[in-house]
Structure formats: structure tokens, C-alpha cells
Amino acid sequence: MEIRAEGRVELVCVLSPCALCDTPFELADGDPLLVARSGRGELVGRVCSGCASSGEEELRERLLERARRLRERADRLEDLACEEIRLPPLRE
């Protein structure tokens, strides 16, 4: 994976979740737009300065921690999908 600046933020200010750690972070006009790309060059997404400035080991731990949380969330969603589903009546 590679993290690099690709252009500059052109919006005045936007809150965006980091593609790596999922923490919302602020992008302001003129800030470097940090994005992560996989080793094959596939776009992963915008990256917060915390991830971009962390060391290799810390970043690896962040990625593994997020993967663990996503796996837990996926398990919860799959459990819910297996339960009976009740929906509110549709409005007429």
C-alpha cells in the first residue's frame, strides 16, 4: 500500500471518514489530499493525517484493528439477517 498526496483539497471544508481507520477528519481548502493506493495502484480512499504520519507498524496495527471491528460488525449484520424481520406497516 502507498499513501501519497494527489492534488489539493478544493472545497472550503469537508468532514470525511479516513479510508484506513474510519475516523472522520477535516479537509480544508489548500490541504494536501492524502490518498492510499494498494500495491497494485487501486484507489483505497482519502487518508487522515494521523494514519499518514504514523509509523509502518502503528499503521499496520490500525488496519488490523479496523479489520477486526468490520468483521465484528459483519457478524452482527449476518446474525440480524438470519432473524425474523418485522417491518412497520407501509403508509397508504
Nearer Cβ to Zn ion (69/77)? 69
**Least spacing, CB of residue 45 vs Zn ion, in Å:** 10
**Least spacing, CB of residue 6 vs Zn ion, in Å:** 16
Q: Which three cell numbers stand for residue 43?
A: 484507489
Comparing every residue's Cβ against Zn ion, the nearest one is: 18
Q: How many Cβ atoms sit within 10 Å of the Cβ of residue 36?
A: 21
Nearer Cβ to Zn ion (21/27)? 21
CA dist., res. 72 & res. 77, Å (int) = 9
Question: Looking at 6-14, 33-41, 49-57, 80-88, which segment touches Zn ion (CB under 5 A)?
Answer: 49-57
DSSP E strands, 1-92:
2-8, 13-17, 24-28, 32-37, 43-46
Is 36 among the residues that bind Zn ion (CB under 5 A)? no
SS3 category, 32: strand
Q: Which three cell numbers stand for residue 91?
A: 403508509
Nearer Cβ to Zn ion (10/53)? 53
Binding site for Zn ion (CB under 5 A): 18, 20-21, 48, 51
